[in-house]
Amino acid sequence: MERKIVIATMNDHKAREIKSLIGGHYNVLTQDYFSIPSIPETGKTFEENALIKANQVAEKTDLLTLADDSGLEVDLLNGEPGIYSARYAGPDATDDENNQKLIKELERYKGEKITARFRSVIAIVEPAENKERIFHGSWEGTIRLDQRGKNGFGYDPLFFIDDLGVTAAELSDSKKNKLSHRANAIRAAIDYLLRKNNT
């Protein structure tokens, strides 16, 4: 029997990235497919937001559902933008507006090493078994105040991977999908699902 999984996201970039990470294990659908509108992220943590999205979509579809909540944590900004990463410069901010705001906030630290990490929390909700599971991934780096690279999305042009000497936006999709916070969390989630299904 074909296995289906729904990704609870309205972000096309994120949906594409998750689909490529899941590979051929499942028939991947998105909440758009079911005409489910955007779900407000009212939680105070990545975990809460991921579960809110996964539970609401699972309730409406009655299918295995995966949701990601992720963001950038900058140590010199006490972990900001954190859960507000996608709306750092305002509710409908573009990636570039968010990046510009971050650059402005960090200008006073120019010349210092600005350590940061991307964090991803994947929630899986299995309505048939009334189960919830959480998986974590992180990716350490530093922030550059000049944007570099055209790949990726979000804060990728500012997120510098020191041992590679490039930003996340200068990586190919396949390279990013080996290293990223979301890749780490998705791999753990898929391992769990495959073990569970004895595949």
- What amino acid positions are annotated as catalytic residues? 69
Residue for token pair 């940061």: 116
Q: Which helix (H) or strand (E) holds 101?
A: helix 95-106
Nearest to 38 by CA among 14, 11, 19: 11
Cα radius of gyration rounded to whole Å, the chain: 17
Return d(Cα 87, Cα 81) in angstroms, integer: 9
Return d(Cα 172, Cα 175) in angstroms, integer: 5
Q: Which helix (H) or strand (E) holds 21?
A: helix 12-22
Return d(Cα 164, Cα 177) in angstroms, integer: 15
